[in-house]
Structure 1
Amino acid sequence: MSRLAAAALRRGVAASRDPSSSPLAASALGSARLFSADASGEAAGAGADSQSDPFLKESSEGLAYGRFYSPTGVGNRLEKNMLKTDIIHQLDRCELSLDDVKMDYNMGFTPLGALLRFPSKAVFTTAVRQTSQNRLYKMEAISRDEWDLKQSFDGKTVLLQGVPRNALPEDIERFLCGTNFEPPPFESFLRPGVPERIRVVLVKFRTKTDAMNAFITKNRSFCLNNQVSMRVLQ
């Protein structure tokens, strides 16, 4: 064998033992670097941005909002003692939670309806179908602004009706003795009544359980000489 042929043979053997010198291996390595440094990095960055941006997140979720009410009641009102869970059971195919329901009270704390938040427009359409089937209730679309502006008492506020007009905060605290209420100031106002206006007081509690326990133990008890009725606001 000539010297030139022997040298060429040695170079070929050395190249076959070094994978990185192969054109195919070099191409694969370059592609891997491109994928890890550029493509995957860009995709990860975009995913992180979409998760941190609430606007993008909401757009992907497609939330919808509605108002649930009864057309058969006086002034389109719901039953006074209707609970959030009652509405969720009425719309049992709509994937609602307690946080998706806000009761819509008037100035006298009579429930006129409920504002609902749905996970998608398709679920809102399902709710419209459900309410139209039983004919006891109706559903209409509302804006997100209306939902955001509505206060939710969330089962942690109790309405006291019939508190004596001369009762001081200390008298109300004695009436609530034994319950886990938040300290004064209490929100108090007068509402129309017969033969005279009725004093109403709102008392906040730390948890829903505390509010319900206060209702169970204190409803129809006396503050000074007046019997006080209580109602947990949803």
Structure 2
Amino acid sequence: MVLKGREIKPKGSVYGRVSNITKFTTKSDIINFLEGCNLDPRNLKVEYTRTYLPKSMMVEFPSRAAYDAAVKSINRKGRLFNMIKADKAQWDITAPYDGKAGIPRNALIDDVERFLSGCQYDSSSIQMFVRPTDQGPIRMALVRFPSQALAMHAYITKNRGFCLNNQITLQVLH
């Protein structure tokens, strides 16, 4: 927009969607890759498929200049990731999973609590549900941890453990 010979730049957040991420890509990886954009983990949300595989990462840039710096950074570093501009509505509908771990389960809530004994988590947050897969439906649980560090502690100490004679696979959702 031009007004009396001066350009007025819009202020506020600009949103982008970073694709080509893998299940091992973390928020820290994206923050380091987009250096100089003034980002922190609260500016990122991971988008997951129905089976909780990461498909992209939504990024909230504090300004248009930060978004432009990110585009330049991606071009300069060889396009390891791709980024397109996104709407605020897309940012708003992306659920943040900070500190949650998905646990495929064949158990009751009491069994999940026993499995997670010794870990610090919010016991009132346990959500259990069924996900359809090609091999048939699997039962899963989402558990909220107070921090990402405590979720990683549960992953390190409990992943591949057994609950009701079934091996449990944990996944930390960002």
Q: TM-score range with shorter-chain normalisation?
A: 0.7 to 0.9
Deviations 1:11-66 (A, max 9, x none): xxxxxxxxxxxxxxxxxxxxxxxxxxxxxxxxxxxxxxxxxxxxxxxx98532111
Aligned counterpart for 1:138 among listed residues 50, 72, 82: 82
Displacement of 1:96 after TM fit?
0.9
- Evaluate the alpha carbon distance shift between residue 102 and residue 184 of structure 1 in structure 2; reply closer, same or farther with a 3 A threshold: same
Separation in 2, partners of 1:130, 1:214: 35
Deviates further, 140-149 or 190-199: 190-199
- The aligned length equals 165
Separation in 2, partners of 1:117, 1:190: 32
**Structure possessing the higher relative contact order (Cα contacts under 8 Å, 6 or more residues apart):** 2
| Secondary structure class of the residue paired with 2:74 | helix
Question: Rg bigger for which structure?
Answer: 1
| Secondary structure class of the residue paired with 1:103 | strand
Displacement of 1:198 after TM fit?
2.3
Deviations 1:88-137 (A, max 9, x none): 11111211111111111122111110110112111111211222341221
Aligned to 1:40: none
The answer on 1:65 being equivalent to 2:15 is: yes
Aligned counterpart for 1:109 among listed residues 37, 40, 52: 52
| Secondary structure class of the residue paired with 1:141 | strand
Conserved in 2, the CA contact under 8 Å of 1:102 and 1:115?
yes
* TM-score (normalised: structure 2): 0.86
Aligned counterpart for 1:80 among listed residues 14, 23, 30: 23
The alignment yields a C-alpha RMSD, in angstroms, of 1.9
- Evaluate the alpha carbon distance shift between residue 193 and residue 60 of structure 1 in structure 2; reply closer, same or farther with a 3 A threshold: closer
Aligned to 2:111: 171
Aligned counterpart for 1:150 among listed residues 94, 102, 123: 94
Conserved in 2, the CA contact under 8 Å of 1:132 and 1:138?
no
Aligned to 1:209: 149
Taking only the aligned residue pairs, the percentage that are identical comes to 36
* TM-score (normalised: structure 1): 0.65
Aligned to 2:64: 121
Aligned counterpart for 1:97 among listed residues 40, 61, 65: 40
Unaligned runs of 5+ in 2: 1-8
Separation in 1, partners of 2:12, 2:145: 34
Unaligned runs of 5+ in 1: 1-58, 71-77
Separation in 2, partners of 1:69, 1:185: 30
Aligned to 1:198: 138
Conserved in 2, the CA contact under 8 Å of 1:159 and 1:233?
yes
Aligned to 1:221: 161
Instruction: Report the AA paired with residue 142 of structure 2.
Output: L
Conserved in 1, the CA contact under 8 Å of 2:125 and 2:144?
no
Separation in 1, partners of 2:93, 2:136: 33
Aligned to 1:230: 170
Separation in 1, partners of 2:132, 2:46: 22
Displacement of 1:216 after TM fit?
1.3
Separation in 2, partners of 1:123, 1:146: 19
Separation in 1, partners of 2:173, 2:51: 12
Instruction: Report the AA paired with residue 158 of structure 2.
Output: K
Conserved in 2, the CA contact under 8 Å of 1:169 and 1:185?
no
